Amino acid sequence: MDTIELDVKSYEAMVVVNGEINNLDEIQLLRLSITQPYFQSSQKIIIENAVIDLYEDEVLIGSYNYTQDGEYKLSHKGKIGSSYKLEIKLPEMPDHPGFSSKVISSKSEKLEPVSEITGISYEFKPESLVFEEGYYLFIDTYDPKGKGNNYRWKVKVNGEFSNDPRQIMVVEDNRLDGNLITGLDLTYDPFQEGDEIVVYQQSISNTFYQYLFDIYMQALTQESFFDSPAYNPKSNLISDIPVVGYFNASAYHTAGIIIGE
């Protein structure tokens, strides 16, 4: 049997930051970890006991508390119209000395308002050449006049969100500006009778829109004729060490429905 040597470029570890500040009455979450080589099958490398400060309109308003599994929590409700940024000081990291005590900050993001979901409905569609059999979900909403109102929709089904990047649903304002939006289809896979649905309509910045869109396009073209080399989407994080991820500020409006009722 022949031995095949794969030409794999040298691996460079990067810190991963994923977090959000929003206007919901809930605990704000942030996660810190370190990337691993593609072929490494061990559990993810988490970062414990970092010091993470949150600034609101350039004023320090609180620090995140470490819980477990690389997750940090802060009790604070974001204010629409305010701007937010992070400052992270990493702990001593003997296994990654190049990261020890390094600082990561995020560019300031304004928490923009979000339009209401004015209607939510579903429709059963039989199997056809175009549709799979099942229930399809639709919402009505609107976009205020003026550029800069970008949106993301997340659909929670029976208490869970999908982690499939192919199901990222975003749109930029220049396609909607000042218009009513009726019958927007938020179905990726058809729903079933009895499914409990909650739709989260989310305001997002121009840069976060592009970040999410880049992830979506890479996921959509994987293993396809149009597949292109993977790349890290542009982040809003700043450091002198390699870092990926995003810290965003968003407002939400939600609406729910039970399929079949």
Residue written as tokens 């880049």? 214
- Any residues with CB less than 8 A from the CB of 216 and at least 6 apart, and which? 165, 166, 168, 170
CATH 2.60.40 is right for the domain spanning 14-112+234-250: yes
CB neighbours of residue 214 within 10 Å: 14
Which residue, 112, 91, 113, 94, is CA-closest to 102? 91
| E strands present in 94-161 | 103-106, 109-110, 119-125, 134-142, 150-157, 160-161
Q: Where in the chain is the domain with CATH 2.60.40?
A: 14-112+234-250
Which residue, 93, 110, 10, is CA-closest to 47? 93
pLDDT, tens only, 55-107: 999 999 999 999 999 999 999 999 999 999 999 999 999 999 999 999 999 99
Mean pLDDT of 171-189: 87
Q: Which residue has the higher pLDDT, 194 or 218?
A: 194
The pairing of strands 103-106 and 109-110 is: unpaired
| 174 phi and psi angles, rounded to 5 deg | -65, -10
pLDDT, tens only, 162-172: 988 889 999 98
